[in-house]
Structure 1
Amino acid sequence: MTFVLFAGYLTTALTHRLDHGGSWWQDGAAEVRTESERTQLVFTFYPGDRMTFGTTIRNPRPWPVTITGVADDGDHIFRVSSVTMNRPGDAGYVNFDSTTAVAFQPVNLGPGEEPPVFVTVTMPDVQFGEGSGLVFDDVAVSFNALGLPRHQQVPLGYRVWVRAPNGYVPRRVGD
Protein backbone atom coordinates (compact mmCIF):
# COMPACT_ATOMS: atom_id res chain seq x y z
CA MET A 1 0.00 0.00 0.00
CA THR A 2 2.81 2.43 0.87
CA PHE A 3 4.48 1.75 -2.47
CA VAL A 4 1.24 2.46 -4.34
CA LEU A 5 0.78 5.77 -2.51
CA PHE A 6 4.40 6.77 -3.13
CA ALA A 7 4.14 5.84 -6.83
CA GLY A 8 0.92 7.88 -7.10
CA TYR A 9 2.59 10.86 -5.42
CA LEU A 10 5.59 10.69 -7.78
CA THR A 11 3.42 10.30 -10.85
CA THR A 12 1.24 13.23 -9.82
CA ALA A 13 4.21 15.51 -9.06
CA LEU A 14 6.27 14.55 -12.09
CA THR A 15 3.42 14.90 -14.59
CA HIS A 16 2.28 18.30 -13.32
CA ARG A 17 2.32 20.79 -16.20
CA LEU A 18 1.86 24.55 -16.13
CA ASP A 19 0.07 26.33 -18.96
CA HIS A 20 -0.09 29.80 -20.47
CA GLY A 21 -2.56 32.06 -18.79
CA GLY A 22 -5.29 34.11 -20.34
CA SER A 23 -3.39 37.41 -20.55
CA TRP A 24 -0.36 38.87 -22.24
CA TRP A 25 1.33 42.28 -22.61
CA GLN A 26 3.77 44.02 -24.95
CA ASP A 27 5.75 47.18 -24.44
CA GLY A 28 4.52 49.09 -27.50
CA ALA A 29 7.67 48.46 -29.54
CA ALA A 30 6.08 45.40 -31.09
CA GLU A 31 3.66 45.19 -33.95
CA VAL A 32 0.76 42.92 -32.99
CA ARG A 33 -0.41 40.61 -35.78
CA THR A 34 -3.15 38.01 -35.70
CA GLU A 35 -3.11 35.38 -38.41
CA SER A 36 -5.79 32.71 -38.25
CA GLU A 37 -6.07 32.18 -34.51
CA ARG A 38 -2.40 32.87 -33.73
CA THR A 39 -1.21 36.19 -32.29
CA GLN A 40 2.34 37.35 -32.99
CA LEU A 41 4.35 40.13 -31.38
CA VAL A 42 6.78 41.29 -34.06
CA PHE A 43 9.84 43.21 -32.84
CA THR A 44 12.41 44.73 -35.23
CA PHE A 45 15.94 43.45 -34.66
CA TYR A 46 18.64 45.91 -33.66
CA PRO A 47 21.66 44.52 -31.77
CA GLY A 48 21.86 45.80 -28.22
CA ASP A 49 18.22 46.94 -28.09
CA ARG A 50 15.92 45.59 -25.44
CA MET A 51 12.44 44.20 -25.84
CA THR A 52 9.93 43.41 -23.12
CA PHE A 53 6.97 41.09 -23.31
CA GLY A 54 4.59 39.91 -20.65
CA THR A 55 2.71 36.71 -20.05
CA THR A 56 0.80 34.94 -17.36
CA ILE A 57 1.68 31.42 -16.25
CA ARG A 58 -1.30 29.44 -15.03
CA ASN A 59 -1.50 26.55 -12.61
CA PRO A 60 -4.29 24.41 -14.14
CA ARG A 61 -4.17 21.64 -11.54
CA PRO A 62 -6.06 21.33 -8.24
CA TRP A 63 -2.97 21.53 -6.00
CA PRO A 64 -0.65 24.48 -5.33
CA VAL A 65 2.79 24.97 -6.90
CA THR A 66 5.64 27.41 -6.33
CA ILE A 67 7.22 29.07 -9.37
CA THR A 68 10.91 29.52 -8.55
CA GLY A 69 12.28 30.85 -11.84
CA VAL A 70 11.20 32.24 -15.21
CA ALA A 71 13.39 32.45 -18.36
CA ASP A 72 16.16 30.82 -16.36
CA ASP A 73 17.39 28.08 -18.68
CA GLY A 74 20.20 30.10 -20.31
CA ASP A 75 19.63 28.19 -23.56
CA HIS A 76 18.89 31.05 -25.94
CA ILE A 77 20.76 33.42 -28.20
CA PHE A 78 19.66 36.61 -26.46
CA ARG A 79 20.49 37.66 -22.89
CA VAL A 80 17.70 37.93 -20.35
CA SER A 81 18.16 41.40 -18.83
CA SER A 82 15.43 41.18 -16.21
CA VAL A 83 12.38 39.27 -15.09
CA THR A 84 9.85 41.27 -13.11
CA MET A 85 6.30 40.63 -11.99
CA ASN A 86 3.11 42.00 -10.58
CA ARG A 87 1.32 40.04 -7.90
CA PRO A 88 -1.99 38.47 -8.94
CA GLY A 89 -4.86 40.67 -7.83
CA ASP A 90 -7.99 39.76 -5.92
CA ALA A 91 -10.20 37.02 -7.35
CA GLY A 92 -7.60 36.14 -9.99
CA TYR A 93 -7.60 39.59 -11.60
CA VAL A 94 -4.45 40.01 -13.72
CA ASN A 95 -2.90 43.47 -13.73
CA PHE A 96 0.03 44.18 -16.07
CA ASP A 97 1.60 47.36 -14.76
CA SER A 98 5.28 47.62 -15.66
CA THR A 99 5.65 50.77 -13.51
CA THR A 100 4.86 48.84 -10.31
CA ALA A 101 6.53 45.55 -11.26
CA VAL A 102 9.10 44.19 -8.82
CA ALA A 103 12.01 41.81 -9.38
CA PHE A 104 10.82 38.26 -9.80
CA GLN A 105 10.68 36.26 -6.60
CA PRO A 106 9.26 32.80 -5.94
CA VAL A 107 5.48 32.88 -6.01
CA ASN A 108 2.97 30.34 -4.70
CA LEU A 109 0.11 29.59 -7.09
CA GLY A 110 -3.14 28.01 -6.07
CA PRO A 111 -5.36 26.21 -8.57
CA GLY A 112 -6.20 28.44 -11.55
CA GLU A 113 -3.98 31.33 -10.45
CA GLU A 114 -1.72 33.10 -12.95
CA PRO A 115 0.77 35.84 -12.03
CA PRO A 116 1.72 38.47 -14.63
CA VAL A 117 5.44 38.25 -15.51
CA PHE A 118 7.54 40.62 -17.63
CA VAL A 119 10.63 39.33 -19.43
CA THR A 120 13.13 41.84 -20.84
CA VAL A 121 15.80 40.55 -23.20
CA THR A 122 18.77 42.23 -24.88
CA MET A 123 19.15 41.57 -28.60
CA PRO A 124 22.33 39.69 -29.56
CA ASP A 125 25.03 41.10 -31.81
CA VAL A 126 24.69 38.51 -34.56
CA GLN A 127 24.19 38.58 -38.29
CA PHE A 128 20.80 37.92 -39.85
CA GLY A 129 19.79 37.59 -43.46
CA GLU A 130 17.06 39.82 -44.85
CA GLY A 131 13.64 38.78 -43.58
CA SER A 132 15.01 36.27 -41.08
CA GLY A 133 15.14 36.46 -37.30
CA LEU A 134 14.32 34.68 -34.06
CA VAL A 135 10.99 33.05 -33.28
CA PHE A 136 9.88 31.59 -29.97
CA ASP A 137 6.57 30.78 -28.34
CA ASP A 138 7.46 29.43 -24.91
CA VAL A 139 9.43 30.38 -21.81
CA ALA A 140 11.45 28.22 -19.41
CA VAL A 141 9.87 27.96 -15.96
CA SER A 142 11.23 26.26 -12.84
CA PHE A 143 8.72 25.29 -10.19
CA ASN A 144 8.01 22.95 -7.30
CA ALA A 145 5.02 20.63 -7.54
CA LEU A 146 4.12 18.78 -4.36
CA GLY A 147 7.61 19.53 -3.07
CA LEU A 148 9.51 18.18 -6.09
CA PRO A 149 11.52 20.51 -8.35
CA ARG A 150 10.35 20.65 -11.98
CA HIS A 151 11.42 22.49 -15.13
CA GLN A 152 9.20 23.07 -18.15
CA GLN A 153 8.95 25.10 -21.33
CA VAL A 154 5.60 26.83 -20.78
CA PRO A 155 3.75 28.09 -23.88
CA LEU A 156 3.32 31.87 -24.04
CA GLY A 157 -0.03 31.65 -25.79
CA TYR A 158 1.39 33.79 -28.61
CA ARG A 159 4.52 33.90 -30.75
CA VAL A 160 7.39 36.39 -30.43
CA TRP A 161 9.11 37.11 -33.72
CA VAL A 162 12.26 39.25 -33.73
CA ARG A 163 12.80 40.03 -37.41
CA ALA A 164 15.62 41.59 -39.39
CA PRO A 165 13.75 43.28 -42.24
CA ASN A 166 16.83 44.75 -43.93
CA GLY A 167 19.39 42.00 -43.39
CA TYR A 168 21.29 43.77 -40.65
CA VAL A 169 24.98 42.90 -40.46
CA PRO A 170 26.51 44.04 -37.16
CA ARG A 171 29.65 46.14 -37.23
CA ARG A 172 32.69 44.87 -35.42
CA VAL A 173 34.49 47.09 -32.93
CA GLY A 174 36.96 49.25 -34.84
CA ASP A 175 35.16 49.06 -38.20
Structure 2
Amino acid sequence: MSSPINVNLEEDGIALERFTGLVLIMNTPKGRGVFASKPIPAGTTIDICAALVLSPHDAKEHISHTELNNYTYNWPYPTGENGNQTTQAVVFGLGSLFNHSTHQQNVGWTRDLVRQVVTYRTLRDVRQGEELCISYGGHLTFVDADAEELKAEAEAEARDGGEAALARIELV
Protein backbone atom coordinates (compact mmCIF):
# COMPACT_ATOMS: atom_id res chain seq x y z
CA MET A 1 0.00 0.00 0.00
CA SER A 2 1.41 3.38 -0.98
CA SER A 3 1.48 6.20 1.50
CA PRO A 4 -0.39 9.46 0.79
CA ILE A 5 1.60 12.27 -0.79
CA ASN A 6 1.74 15.67 0.84
CA VAL A 7 -0.64 17.81 -1.27
CA ASN A 8 -3.59 20.04 -0.59
CA LEU A 9 -6.44 18.16 -2.27
CA GLU A 10 -8.79 21.15 -2.20
CA GLU A 11 -6.28 23.53 -3.83
CA ASP A 12 -4.33 21.13 -6.03
CA GLY A 13 -6.98 18.56 -6.87
CA ILE A 14 -9.31 18.57 -9.86
CA ALA A 15 -12.70 17.12 -9.02
CA LEU A 16 -13.55 14.52 -11.63
CA GLU A 17 -17.21 13.99 -12.49
CA ARG A 18 -19.05 11.85 -14.98
CA PHE A 19 -22.79 11.67 -15.46
CA THR A 20 -23.88 8.08 -14.80
CA GLY A 21 -26.68 7.80 -17.36
CA LEU A 22 -24.51 7.24 -20.44
CA VAL A 23 -23.88 4.30 -22.76
CA LEU A 24 -21.42 3.75 -25.60
CA ILE A 25 -23.04 2.29 -28.73
CA MET A 26 -20.62 0.82 -31.25
CA ASN A 27 -22.71 0.53 -34.43
CA THR A 28 -24.33 3.90 -35.18
CA PRO A 29 -24.37 5.54 -38.65
CA LYS A 30 -21.44 7.68 -37.39
CA GLY A 31 -19.55 4.71 -35.92
CA ARG A 32 -19.47 4.53 -32.15
CA GLY A 33 -21.30 7.15 -30.14
CA VAL A 34 -22.25 8.21 -26.63
CA PHE A 35 -25.99 8.08 -25.83
CA ALA A 36 -28.17 9.11 -22.90
CA SER A 37 -29.65 6.10 -21.07
CA LYS A 38 -31.89 8.46 -19.09
CA PRO A 39 -33.03 12.09 -19.50
CA ILE A 40 -30.32 14.68 -18.82
CA PRO A 41 -31.24 18.23 -17.78
CA ALA A 42 -29.67 21.24 -19.51
CA GLY A 43 -26.45 22.41 -17.85
CA THR A 44 -25.52 18.96 -16.51
CA THR A 45 -21.81 18.15 -16.37
CA ILE A 46 -21.35 15.08 -18.55
CA ASP A 47 -17.63 14.52 -18.02
CA ILE A 48 -14.46 16.29 -16.90
CA CYS A 49 -11.54 14.90 -18.89
CA ALA A 50 -7.80 15.27 -18.50
CA ALA A 51 -5.89 16.32 -21.61
CA LEU A 52 -2.42 15.29 -22.70
CA VAL A 53 -1.02 18.31 -24.58
CA LEU A 54 1.45 17.25 -27.25
CA SER A 55 4.44 19.28 -28.31
CA PRO A 56 4.01 20.78 -31.79
CA HIS A 57 6.88 18.57 -32.96
CA ASP A 58 5.27 15.36 -31.67
CA ALA A 59 1.86 16.33 -33.07
CA LYS A 60 3.28 17.04 -36.55
CA GLU A 61 5.96 14.37 -36.83
CA HIS A 62 4.23 11.46 -35.08
CA ILE A 63 0.53 11.81 -34.27
CA SER A 64 -0.48 13.40 -37.61
CA HIS A 65 0.50 10.17 -39.38
CA THR A 66 -1.72 7.93 -37.26
CA GLU A 67 -5.41 7.24 -36.67
CA LEU A 68 -5.04 9.03 -33.31
CA ASN A 69 -4.88 12.34 -35.22
CA ASN A 70 -8.64 12.00 -35.92
CA TYR A 71 -9.33 12.06 -32.17
CA THR A 72 -7.21 14.98 -31.00
CA TYR A 73 -8.29 18.53 -30.18
CA ASN A 74 -6.59 21.74 -31.30
CA TRP A 75 -4.85 23.24 -28.28
CA PRO A 76 -2.80 26.42 -27.80
CA TYR A 77 0.84 25.76 -26.99
CA PRO A 78 2.85 28.50 -25.27
CA THR A 79 5.98 29.43 -27.18
CA GLY A 80 7.44 32.04 -24.83
CA GLU A 81 7.85 35.57 -26.19
CA ASN A 82 6.10 34.75 -29.46
CA GLY A 83 2.77 33.90 -27.82
CA ASN A 84 0.98 30.67 -28.66
CA GLN A 85 1.25 28.10 -31.39
CA THR A 86 -1.50 25.56 -32.11
CA THR A 87 -0.78 21.95 -31.30
CA GLN A 88 -2.90 18.88 -30.53
CA ALA A 89 -4.12 17.36 -27.28
CA VAL A 90 -5.40 13.87 -26.57
CA VAL A 91 -8.50 14.22 -24.38
CA PHE A 92 -9.10 11.21 -22.17
CA GLY A 93 -12.43 10.00 -20.80
CA LEU A 94 -15.39 10.55 -23.10
CA GLY A 95 -13.80 13.56 -24.76
CA SER A 96 -12.64 11.74 -27.86
CA LEU A 97 -15.76 9.58 -28.14
CA PHE A 98 -18.39 12.27 -28.75
CA ASN A 99 -19.44 12.54 -32.38
CA HIS A 100 -19.75 15.84 -34.23
CA SER A 101 -23.04 17.42 -35.17
CA THR A 102 -23.63 20.77 -36.76
CA HIS A 103 -27.38 20.37 -36.49
CA GLN A 104 -27.99 18.29 -33.34
CA GLN A 105 -25.21 19.55 -31.05
CA ASN A 106 -26.42 19.13 -27.47
CA VAL A 107 -23.14 19.18 -25.52
CA GLY A 108 -20.73 22.09 -25.23
CA TRP A 109 -17.16 21.95 -24.00
CA THR A 110 -14.73 24.31 -22.34
CA ARG A 111 -10.97 24.00 -21.98
CA ASP A 112 -9.05 24.84 -18.84
CA LEU A 113 -5.62 25.57 -20.33
CA VAL A 114 -3.85 25.85 -16.99
CA ARG A 115 -5.15 22.62 -15.48
CA GLN A 116 -5.29 20.87 -18.88
CA VAL A 117 -8.83 19.54 -18.57
CA VAL A 118 -11.95 19.76 -20.72
CA THR A 119 -15.42 19.99 -19.19
CA TYR A 120 -18.48 18.83 -21.14
CA ARG A 121 -21.99 20.11 -20.25
CA THR A 122 -25.38 19.67 -21.87
CA LEU A 123 -26.57 22.74 -23.79
CA ARG A 124 -30.23 21.78 -23.53
CA ASP A 125 -32.38 19.00 -22.08
CA VAL A 126 -31.38 15.66 -23.63
CA ARG A 127 -33.93 12.89 -24.11
CA GLN A 128 -33.33 9.25 -23.17
CA GLY A 129 -31.88 7.47 -26.20
CA GLU A 130 -30.50 10.65 -27.79
CA GLU A 131 -26.89 10.75 -28.97
CA LEU A 132 -24.63 13.27 -27.23
CA CYS A 133 -22.85 15.35 -29.87
CA ILE A 134 -20.39 18.24 -29.76
CA SER A 135 -19.27 20.61 -32.49
CA TYR A 136 -15.75 20.02 -33.78
CA GLY A 137 -15.80 23.48 -35.35
CA GLY A 138 -15.31 24.36 -39.00
CA HIS A 139 -12.21 22.26 -39.66
CA LEU A 140 -13.51 18.72 -40.02
CA THR A 141 -11.17 15.96 -41.09
CA PHE A 142 -14.10 13.79 -42.25
CA VAL A 143 -17.42 14.01 -44.07
CA ASP A 144 -20.03 15.50 -41.72
CA ALA A 145 -22.72 12.84 -41.16
CA ASP A 146 -25.26 15.69 -40.81
CA ALA A 147 -24.38 17.13 -44.24
CA GLU A 148 -27.08 15.29 -46.22
CA GLU A 149 -29.76 16.08 -43.60
CA LEU A 150 -28.80 19.77 -43.59
CA LYS A 151 -28.75 19.90 -47.39
CA ALA A 152 -32.25 18.36 -47.60
CA GLU A 153 -33.59 20.83 -45.00
CA ALA A 154 -32.05 23.80 -46.81
CA GLU A 155 -33.62 22.67 -50.09
CA ALA A 156 -37.03 22.23 -48.42
CA GLU A 157 -36.78 25.71 -46.85
CA ALA A 158 -35.89 27.21 -50.22
CA ARG A 159 -39.01 25.59 -51.74
CA ASP A 160 -41.43 26.77 -49.02
CA GLY A 161 -40.02 30.27 -48.51
CA GLY A 162 -38.68 29.49 -45.01
CA GLU A 163 -41.98 28.42 -43.45
CA ALA A 164 -40.48 25.10 -42.27
CA ALA A 165 -37.68 26.96 -40.47
CA LEU A 166 -40.16 29.28 -38.77
CA ALA A 167 -42.21 26.29 -37.60
CA ARG A 168 -39.15 24.82 -35.81
CA ILE A 169 -38.49 27.97 -33.77
CA GLU A 170 -39.55 27.56 -30.15
CA LEU A 171 -40.98 30.72 -28.63
CA VAL A 172 -39.51 31.49 -25.23
Normalised by the length of structure 1, the TM-score is: 0.29
Judging by fraction of residues, say which structure has more strand. 1
Greater fraction helix: 2
TM-score, structure 2 normalization: 0.29
Rg bigger for which structure?
A: 2
